[in-house]
Amino acid sequence: MNPARARKLQRRGPIAWMAKNSVAANLMMGVLLLGGFFMVGQVKQEVFPEFTLDLVNVSVPYPGASPEEVEQGIVTVIEEAVRGLDGVDKVTSRALESVASINIELIDGTDGNKALSDIKAAVDRIVSFPEDAEEPVTSLFLARNKVISLVVYGDQDEESLRQLIEKARDEVLQSEAVTQVELVGVRSREIAVEIAQADLRAHGLTLSAVAEAMRRASIDLPAGSVKSDAGETLLRTRERRDYGSEFADVAIKSARGGAVLRVRDLAKVRDAFADEDLKATYNGKTAVQVDVYRVGAQTPIAVAAAVNEYAKAFAATLPPGVQVDTWNDSSEILADRIDLLMRNAKMGLVLVFLALALFLEFKLAFWVMLGIPISFMGAFLLMPVMDVSVNMISLFAFIVTLGIVVDDAIVVGENVYELREKGIPPLEAAIAGSKQVAVPVVFAVLTTVAAFSPLFFVPGVSGKFMRNIPAIVVSVILFSLVESLFILPAHLAHSKKSENPWIRRLMAGPEFFRRLFSGGLQRFIYEIYQPLLRFMARNRYLALSGAMALLIATVGTVAGGHVEFTFMPKVEGDLVTASARLPEGVPIEETVKVRDRLIASVRTILEEAGGEAKLSRGIYASVGQAIAQGNRPSAGAIGGGSHIVDVAVRLVPAGDRDIR
């Protein structure tokens, strides 16, 4: 083939077409940059990915029952009813005092909603539950995104704190940034009616008769409609009673003389709380809290900002002796990770530009550096399509790609630069240089894609977490390939040295340093690297032995325990939790003693390390319910107990403390 025909063929193909049509390349670059920048504000933000846990929970309250009675009367019956259902993998049960909790794990790929419906139907068909057992509650676990908690604490009775936290809950919900909250650390309300047996016998009544009279007097239901010439009127009975004073006025029976016997005449009626083993303290004082969640398009940072702003305003309205604080603000972690990504991205841009500018040329360095934002914005453009949000895992993936995103662009740019240094015109150098390295660049990208792709197929909860990593890495790497082969050549093809004398004088200083560093690199290549390479080529067995020795040493370092192998690295956090589990059924007074000992130990350690006021931002303790952290379901959702005690210490940020 003659040289003219070879050059003609060289100028064909998509790479050559894009190099010659800079408008198309700039249009593609603009779409990726502007489209990705627009999607940055549209992509859902959350601390961790939100997903179902492939876990169905059945909870059955059985007031007053021992764990043995709960197991025999409820747990065994439900296990037999659900084990044979389609999609059920494993059943794990807990028989606690006054409650049964059955966790049903589903097979990977099972439709959670269908499995929930089947399990609920199977449980509802059971007719052998004990008479005192309450209605089963069947739910599909969802890893919700709890953002922050609002804690109200002080030297007040439980009812006063309950009213304050309910007020806070209602007012927080009025914020446009908040739509989902949940009360935590509070016992359920109930109305206690205490009647002496002697009074019942004196009036010829039974407890069931009194209960039925109270039930009939507290109804709220539709009663049909009445049609008339004026139209249709809807009828409804509104006699719902919510407080003890309202039930005290209920009539039980009437005497012949017209006298009416009411509940208050023979019973003591009072508003109370359920007999639940649940106590929470914050900084040594009784506490109640409301957890705030992120839903839909809400961002954790906006939700936390709204709650923090409300807490400041709410503090001014509290009575003496009562305080409010925020707790476990997970948006701080997300904000720190976003800040880390931005700082690393800025540093990466600067380092890439300086490295290429010192050894090649400034224009080439600029266009190669531009590959980082182009690739990242392209990935943001695809995130909604891939159902990937901005979260801790996806941000980690972006940080991982910072070190490899411009590798292919550097290879293409350096090869084009070398051809231009040989006197080949910029357009021909851009086309020829890109095509010469296109195959190795493509395969380099494909090997990276192949290395991360298996993470798409990790099963279970880990897979739902990990899929964010390959989704982001593969997207960024593929867009970097597109940028290096179709956008970068067009820019390099039209990048010429300026003939303006002012610009040439301005660039004289940087050009001197560029030649200095470039000359040093060339001397290293020809005087050190090339002789060493020739020596290794002549002594191939020595080179192979050295490589094998290095491999064996690496494997030995890991196998010998010198390099720790863990699924997740130990990262310094700001929340320290101490937990204790006593024998089930233990009196709550004993658990409170353990809690007090844990708190005392924590405060002793803090004082020895520099002082509680200097190191701690709050100590939260919970008896009867585990402290939920992040997306982990709280123990209240799956059954607590008097044997559970957790103490959590929120430390000041790592940068503000000496203790590690």
What is the DSSP annotation of 475-506? Answer: HHHHHHHHIIIIIHHHHHHT------HHHHHH
CA dihedral (385, 391, 393, 398) in degrees, to 10, reads 70
Q: Which domains does the chain have, with CATH numbers?
A: 3-46+334-497 (1.20.1640.10), 52-142 (3.30.70.1430), 189-224+234-273 (3.30.2090.10), 575-656 (3.30.70)
Lowest model confidence (mean pLDDT) among 522-531, 542-551, 606-615: 606-615
How far apart, in whole angstroms, are the C-alpha atoms of residue 480 and residue 392? 23
Judged by DSSP in three states, 92 sits in strand
Confidence class for position 85, pLDDT limits 50, 70, 90: confident
Tokens 């007999």 label which residue? 275
Amino acid sitting at position 563: V
Inter-CA distances, 649 with 11, 50, 370, Å: 67, 26, 45
Does 228 have pLDDT greater than 80?
no
Span 568-584, pLDDT tens digits? 566 667 788 888 888 87
Average of pLDDT values for 158-178?
89
Does 184 have pLDDT greater than 60?
yes
Confidence class for position 299, pLDDT limits 50, 70, 90: confident
Judged by DSSP in three states, 224 sits in strand
Lowest model confidence (mean pLDDT) among 139-153, 246-260, 303-317, 572-586: 246-260
Average of pLDDT values for 530-552?
91
Between residues 495 and 136, the one the model is more confident about: 136
The answer to whether 49 and 112 have CB atoms below 8 angstroms apart is no
- Copy the structure tokens of residue 119: 């399990």
Does 329 have pLDDT greater than 70?
yes
- End-to-end Cα, the chain, rounded Å: 70
Average of pLDDT values for 360-384?
88
Average of pLDDT values for 423-431?
87
- Give the residue from 122, 116, 106, 123 showing the smallest Cα distance to 53: 106
Does 201 have pLDDT greater than 50?
yes
Does 4 have pLDDT greater than 60?
no
Segment of 163-167, 229-233, 565-569 carrying the highest mean pLDDT: 163-167
Q: What local confidence, expressed as pLDDT, does residue 634 receive?
A: 41
